[in-house]
Structure 1
């Protein structure tokens, strides 16, 4: 079957691994039962034809070659073995007869051998068997539509010393060393022979391209599939808090289980004493409980929890609301607040800025700079990575490299390191070429034999250096647009409310052109997404007038659209379903414009990383050739390189752009105008993002006082 698998891969280079395994399984399970080429074509022909542009005849030829591999003694000819003539035949002489009794010698009238006569009973059995096989093959084809998703696995080599300490319970180190470990996702190796060392009290930023395994690594650590000392507590902020009647503030306080247990015990003892208990040990225990509560500063816990919640955007009223009343985004903030309050030995954060507005991001940056234990954070926010980490972990080519300093220092050090490696490689190549030239020139010169041998030995001893592997630069290419004569888009005295006692904004007077690069900022819940929907005509203003050019065509992107992609198809099929009737090459070209090419375009959407799904959503949005882009938090799950490419793509785009984002670097790259939502209005800010950041920092200072 190995030959069949290799042959299928050679004929269909873009075949998905799951689909290839499915075809191999069908051929393997029925290898001895196929009677001819036609049966193989019925079993797998339609599947193979569906993933390529080959003709039916080409597929049948491939099926015949597969039959040869499975059953070398058979051919695809259903009329039996061929007879090869061993001498030339004169057809005219074959038709002549000497007399009536003589046997005819004509090749056309010759009687067939008994070996070729059909046995009626055998034919009936064969037909029944064929029907059974065809039914089985039809049943076996069902799983193609929904392939089983693979899961991640990890393996690790642990030292005997650490194992002994762990077994004795004497391991008290706060540092974490995970050495020589592998992580795979199905057949795909993400990390191989990697090492990860996390020193206690340091803050690590984990960076790398989308799809290389950053999120998977965090999950392997939190699930203890990668072994770390058992006494180290881990908290991974990944799932939102389950909503119930618990108040938000109480939900955070409950994370401190020691404090909660002491308070519960204090209440039990007090009730027992008030009910007349004369047990002297209760008074002693109560004194001990009070001492422990004082020792852990239990009375300050509510204030500390409230400060954390306030920094993450929870007002006093919100802190006293039941958790079930919050949306998913606010429950994720609550999960983050619980993690910050509980202070585990190792805190794992995966894209913590995705759910936060700019004010909360600035607060979180300041808070984490004083984080007392070990922090490992995955983030795409360049400014966050410049502010928070003390070290950068770079995941690439199945390994992890550690760099001291923040992201800016890492970027400089990595560039310098790559330049030095390239210079060293080029110098060695010149040295090799010089030695080889000497060897080739004097190989047959007896007087130089010893020198040649010396050079050969020197050449063999040179370490093998490889050229620096440059990461492929991501490019996002938005469609070309035709110019439109102004006015393009205008909001005059626009207001909106969902209920008369809850006005979102009023008296909004703003406009945009095809040259516009507008960024909308503001606190969560201030009405940014509502404003976008009014601009696009999804919502109608409750007052005022919205005017748009009749040729204006919006392209709308939001994280909500990424979540609603069909997860059971691949990227090409997704575009085919959304925009039917175009050649496959056009769908692939469109996906390639957003960095989804090769085998990646044929993977199921469910198997793609968050950033790769976002790029597919961009490709789908731009397939309709919009001339005005409305982007709501487009950077969520994109890696730093792709955000950089997004900024460059927006700057080259000839249409208009309105952007809602909290990514400071992207805002600075593209935006020429800043709209601030808040306080029931939308206003354009002079001075751009620098001025807005100063406003936010002043608000935070006032809040802390």
Structure 2
């Protein structure tokens, strides 16, 4: 019967896979029995399907959906039964046997259905979400081996015979759902972790990525509980790979330490935003379910006791079961109390509000949010769960300045361990208590330091190492000179031999590694007479009745350094598109100098790139008229050097693609640079190069950015977009952050953890 498995899972979405397979197999067996001369005589289709219906109801299915499925199955099986009866002949074949219906009838209760399943070799309780039993075969190794065999077969058979590889290779690799993965990584344990240290120490491990590329060698990971670590390093060094290995316990993290990794956006569904955050704490969700089931069963036992004599064996069994349930119920209640389960909803609402979700939008289904907002939901879910080890990968890339301010403030009092990958200097200064520098296949620790102090210490370390290296090289040269001069001099030979021994005993020092210097350069434009670019009383909205921008005035000059900040969705990117005349205002006008050239950096600049071509080819098509050597030289001014400009752009990292985009917007020698989130994906060296280049640029700069450090370095005007207006803020970007925190504090958001 086609799509039967799908129909069962639609009726019971939370069904244990073992039970689902059993139900499907049983129904298929009934269908097959309609074609068997002996078994069909014993068959009562309605009775069989009613048994399956009871099984599905006990697995947590919806009654209306199960009734609908049952009616459909009975109708189809009756039709097949009648059709097959005319074709059947008595064969006396008794090799096929249905399960003993009487046995199954005697096990109609939930507990007895579980017992029946146990007789079938099924040991999982149908009320708990099970895990998919997956093949333990390494599919990558299998595929590699199968390719070799296929090549040999093809060679022997002159390529006329097609080798049929293992079906495991083509099998769909279904991802575990969130609940399954959470419980697999963080199984519920009652009391076993009490008193155990939550420090993490992993000694001498190697870590690989891709086809055997090593990113860490003989490394040590040391994370003290309650510390907040900033993991820094160049793009492509393997920071995200390290986080992923920790999140999957591929590294030996003690099992009593809970882990959660914010890695990808949640899948949209009809569940509300706040409910998705509440459901993220699978422990709480599971414990509340078990608490409800235990209470219901205890009530059921109390009713059953009245049907038997007080001294009967049945009452003793029921009392024993009740005692066990009450003991476990107490453990559950203690665990829920420890988790502050009663405060969960207010805490979830507070976190969502801090990340930009209004009280109204918290009730919206998750599938109504865009990808960026779903990433915020993933972050909210992680903060709500309060794992012992929270792993964050570039969290500021998905947030605006108000949300980053809230997150930084929230993490400052976070009670557990945080390991965050970020290139946002201001964010790390506020959040990090320690810095881990990943480079040269090792991890260097900078204890009790934020990013600024780490950077200063790293520079000082480099200078000391260079000084030590240079001193040793000079001493080696001095010894070698003496040896070369007096090696064969009889009077000085003993002294020469002494110096040879000294030279041999000297430790061999490698020159200290120096970070690659990166510089950007935006070409200087010719001067223009004002007005350069102006918005005059501009109003705009995608719906005229709901204006996004209302009566906005903005003037950009050749010496402007303007940052536009505000919550996501308040119209910042729309404002840039109006300036670029990609949108037309509903009211007011856009005035600009007739000779004005604008360089525009879009937040999603990758969408406009042909990633199957090289950076040189892409630039030559977008801005023809130069030689390949000129394009390569121009790319080199933005850190795309050597062969990087000639390989396909899909092989470049996110930061390298951003550099190509910076290079492209300069080829028309712009007077004004308009940039939407230019700091995303750039590492520390790239951010410093961008800040220096924008400061030295002779034209005007208008940027939408969440990177507080870049704004502070480059811009001298802060304009705030909120509630339809865009107005200049009287103060620095740090004053704006204080303003945000004061507003959040007044609403009670910041202090509610």
**Class of the TM-score when normalised by the shorter of the 2 chains:** 0.7 to 0.9
Q: 2:676 aligns with which of 625, 632, 636?
A: 632
1:360 and 2:403 aligned: yes
Aligned to 2:265: 240
Match for residue 675 of structure 1? 719
Per-residue CA distance 1:601-623 (angstroms, 9 max, x = gap): 23332222221121112122222
Q: Are 2:275 and 1:250 equivalent residues in the alignment? A: yes
Matches within 5 A, 1:190-209: 190-209=215-234
**Structure-1 residue corresponding to 2:93:** none
State the Cα distance separating 1:228 from its structure 2 match: 3.4
Partner secondary structure for residue 677 of structure 1: strand
CA contact 1:211–1:612 (8 Å) conserved in 2: no
Correspondence for 1:383: 426
Deviation of 1:470 after TM superposition, in Å, equals 1.8
Quote the offset at 1:292 in angstroms: 5.2
1:418 to 462, 473, 480: 462
Q: How far is the alpha carbon of 1:576 from its aligned partner? A: 3.2
Aligned pair count reads 541
CA drift at 1:364: 0.9
Q: Aligned-pair distance for 1:676?
A: 0.8
Which blocks of at least 5 consecutive residues in structure 2 are unaligned? 1-150, 152-157, 159-191, 306-318
- TM-score scaled by length of structure 1: 0.72
Distance 1:547 1:441, change over 3 A: same
* Selected match of 1:176 from 189, 197, 201: 201
3-state SS, counterpart of residue 541 of structure 2: strand
- Preserved contact between residue 594 and residue 616 of structure 1 (Cα < 8 Å): yes
1:53-132 equivalent positions in 2, closer than 5 A: none
| 1:351 is aligned to 2:394 | yes
TM-score (norm 2): 0.68
Structure 1 Cα separation of the partners of residues 255 and 521 of structure 2: 49
Q: Out of 603, 606, 613, which is 1:569 matched to?
A: 613
1:206–1:377 Cα contact (<8 Å) kept: yes
Question: Could you tell me which of 247, 255, 260 is aligned with 1:222?
Answer: 247
8 Å contact from structure 2 (residues 675, 704) kept in 1:
yes
Q: Distance in 2 between matches of 1:223 and 1:574?
A: 39
Is residue 503 from structure 1 mapped to residue 555 from structure 2 by the alignment? no
- 1:660-679 CA-to-partner distances (Å, cap 9, x unmatched) read 01111111111121111012
Q: Distance in 2 between matches of 1:576 and 1:190?
A: 35
SS at match of 2:244: helix
Alpha-carbon distance, 1:399 to partner: 1.9
Question: Does residue 328 in structure 1 map to residue 371 in structure 2?
Answer: yes
2:690 is equivalent to residue 646 of structure 1? yes
Could you give the per-residue CA deviations for residues 514-556 of structure 1, whole angstroms, max 9, x where no partner exists? 1111110111111111111111111111111110111112211
CA contact (8 A) 1:211 1:608 kept: no
C-alpha distance in structure 1 between counterparts of 2:560 and 2:625, whole Å: 34
Is 1:596 the counterpart of 2:640 in the alignment? yes
Which one of the candidate residues 533, 542, 545 is aligned to 1:489?
A: 533
Alignment of 1:310 onto 2:353: yes
Which deviates more, 219-228 or 377-386?
219-228
- 1:466 and 2:536 are equivalent in the alignment: no
Instruction: Quote the Cα distance in structure 1 between the aligned partners of 2:487 and 2:334.
Output: 89
1:458 CA displacement: 0.5
Partner in structure 1 of residue 445 of structure 2: 402
In 1, distance between residues paired with 2:551 and 2:494?
Answer: 92
Quote the Cα distance in structure 1 between the aligned partners of 2:203 and 2:476: 38
Q: 1:513 to 1:445 in 2, by over 3 A?
A: same
Report the secondary structure of 2:548's partner residue.
Answer: strand
User: For residue 143 of structure 2, what is the aligned residue in structure 1?
Assistant: none
Inter-partner Cα distance in structure 1 for 2:403 and 2:649: 32
Q: Structure 1 431/632 Cα, relative in aligned 2: closer, same or farther at 3 Å?
A: same
Deviation for aligned residue 1:231 = 4.3
CA distance in 2 between counterparts of 1:475 and 1:275 reads: 74
Deviation at 1:564, TM superposition (A): 4.4
Q: Write the distance in 1 (CA, Å) between the matches of 2:525 and 2:433.
A: 45
- Give the match's secondary structure for 2:446: strand
Aligned match of 1:393 in 432, 436, 448?
Answer: 436
Instruction: Give the distance between the partners of 2:584 and 2:344, measured in 1 at CA.
Output: 46
Query: Which aligned pairs between 1:550-561 and structure 2 lie closer than 5 A?
Result: 550-561=594-605
Structure-1 separation of matches of 2:731 and 2:413: 31
277-286 or 228-237, larger mean C-alpha shift:
277-286
Alignment of 1:336-347 (within 5 A): 336-347=379-390
| Compared CA separation, residues 342 and 563, structure 1 to 2 (3 A) | farther
Residues 375/690 of structure 1: CA separation in 2 closer, same or farther (3 Å cut): closer
Aligned 8 A contact 1:237 1:339 in 2 = yes
Q: Distance in 2 between matches of 1:565 and 1:233?
A: 41
Two-structure CA RMSD over aligned residues (Å) = 2.7
1:211 aligns with 2:255: no
**Cα distance, 1:593 vs. partner?**
1.1
**Aligned mates of 1:247, 1:486 — CA distance in 2:** 51
Kept in 2, the 8 Å contact 1:176–1:229? The answer is no
